[in-house]
Amino acid sequence: MGTTSDLKPGVIIKFNNELYTVLSVEHRTPGNLRAFYQVKMRNLKNFRILENRFRSGEEVEVVRLDSREYQYLYHDGESLVFMDNQTYDQVTLNDEVLGKQVDFLKEGETVRILYHDSTPLMAELPPHVILKVVTTMPGFKGDTVNMATKPATLETGYVVEVPLFIKEGDAVKIDTRSGQYIERAKA
């Protein structure tokens, strides 16, 4: 158990018998009323965002999650198959556990899976991945002044906007949190 002073972004808490990750915390002391913490948090099962007001000093159940690194093996049509890097055990997870990050997942990629009581809650890819451009339109000479972009399909099937100088076969660095192009990478 902890108190409201332990709440920080990224902390996992149990609230109303569900697990939430804290997104933001604001300590407020309005006039002659009691101080309170305004907390914005996301449900780890359905990803809904909830705001709640906790009294200052109120007890909060802080949850500690276990984390293990896995290697992505393949997609079997319904779920994703991962292998534990230490024990070589295979784990099967639904696509929903990764959410939108499944668009950046390629074979051999290392993924961190977070567990609570031996139940996988969520999986995290590295913040940046390097993917190969499979198809894109050729850029036109002299069209670089206005910072134009064009769509490019990556090896995972994800379509991202890239600068005109990117060609088929180039490797690009993608931000897995926003899904945006960062830079051209060395293959």
What are the residues facing 168 on neighbouring strands? none
Q: Do 31 and 56 have their domain in common?
A: yes
Q: Do 52 and 70 have their domain in common?
A: no
Prediction pTM value: 0.69
Q: Do 58 and 76 have their domain in common?
A: no
Q: Do 16 and 59 have their domain in common?
A: yes
Q: Which two tokens stand for residue 75?
A: 């997609």
CATH label of the domain that carries residue 29: 2.30.30.30
Q: Do 138 and 173 have their domain in common?
A: yes
Task: From 20, 39, 63, give the residue that closes a domain.
Answer: 63
Q: What are phi and psi of 104, to 5 degrees?
A: -110, 10
| Residue 99 or residue 39, greater confidence | 39
The answer on pLDDT for 141 being more than 70 is no
Q: What is the pLDDT of residues 68-94, one digit of tens each?
A: 899 999 988 888 899 998 899 998 888
Q: How many domains does the chain have?
A: 3
The answer on pLDDT for 140 being more than 70 is no
Q: What is the pLDDT of residue 103?
A: 87
Q: Which two tokens stand for residue 1?
A: 């158990």
The answer on pLDDT for 172 being more than 90 is yes
The answer on pLDDT for 143 being more than 80 is no
Band (95; pLDDT cuts 50, 70, 90): confident
Q: What is the pLDDT of residue 185?
A: 87
Q: What is the pLDDT of residue 132?
A: 93
Q: What is the pLDDT of residue 14?
A: 92
Q: Do 52 and 72 have their domain in common?
A: no
Q: Do 77 and 100 have their domain in common?
A: yes
Q: Do 46 and 75 have their domain in common?
A: no
Q: Do 26 and 77 have their domain in common?
A: no
Domain hosting residue 136, numbered range: 129-185
Q: What is the pLDDT of residue 145?
A: 61
Q: What is the pLDDT of residue 67?
A: 86
Q: Do 12 and 41 have their domain in common?
A: yes
Give the residue-averaged pLDDT of 108-112.
Answer: 90
Task: From 16, 40, 63, give the residue that closes a domain.
Answer: 63
Task: From 63, 91, 110, give the residue that closes a domain.
Answer: 63
pLDDT more than 70, % of the chain: 95
Cα(103)–Cα(91) distance, integer angstroms: 19
CA distances from 11 to 51, 123, 174 (A): 15, 16, 26
Q: Do 174 and 145 have their domain in common?
A: yes
Q: What is the pLDDT of residue 133?
A: 93
CATH label of the domain that carries residue 92: 2.40.50.140
Q: Which two tokens stand for residue 118?
A: 């031996």
